[in-house]
Amino acid sequence: MISMNSFPASVRRARHLLILVVPLVAVLSLAFMAACSNESSSGRQTSNSASSKSAPKRGPLAPNFTLRSLDGETVELSSLRGDVVVIDFWATWCPPCRITLPLVNKVYKETRGENVKVFGISTDRVSSAKVRDFLQQNNMELPVLHDRDGTVARAYGVRAIPTTLVIGKYGCIRDRHLGADRLIDKKLLEKVNELLKE
């Protein structure tokens, strides 16, 4: 049987807990909404029709890297500012990558000639010749950079492959896809076209 004296005390404890938790949840919710906001950094929006387009969503700045392609060319990410860049981290031994890579290759073929750069980034610890053989056997045309020691993958926080990223014209990561996705080509093309209009 519950004592009448203990009931109000437990109600008081629950009330005190709510008084502490509710404001904390509200503050965290506001912080999350502010971080995901589509407004410019000043927080002001104009009603002028010429500037009624919302400012581009900003993501984290993509870490710069310099890698060699399998063709021996040096590619530095910062030199590609002004282009939309798609990078797909993958490896020859990875079964899910064999689903994603052909679709990323399709995006490469469909966006050639536009202000879009598409790269595969091989995380294989084997020789570049073995990676090149894999690409030739599978009719892959996209340029592939070799991150043999995993430095770039670590800089991007890649913990699983395939991981595909879209970097906007201003150098910010705007989209991230993890794992195999049979619709990745459509999703990437949609995002690339959206970013080209900014």
% of the chain beyond a pLDDT of 70: 71
Nearest CA to 132 among 66, 68, 65? 68
Spatial separation of the C-alpha atoms in residues 91 and 69, rounded to whole Å:
15
Tally DSSP H helices, then E strands, for the chain: 5, 7
The C-alpha angle 155, 159, 161, rounded to 5 degrees, equals 105
Separation of alpha carbons 61 and 190, rounded Å: 21
Q: Which two tokens stand for residue 24?
A: 């904390």
pLDDT of res. 113: 83
Domain boundaries of the chain, sorted by first residue: 1-39, 66-196
The CATH fold assigned to 66-196 is Glutaredoxin (3.40.30)
- Give the mean pLDDT of 71-77: 96
Claim: this prediction has a pTM higher than 0.85: no
pLDDT digits (tens, 9 = 90+) for 2-56: 444 545 565 556 555 556 655 554 544 433 333 322 222 222 233 333 333 444 5
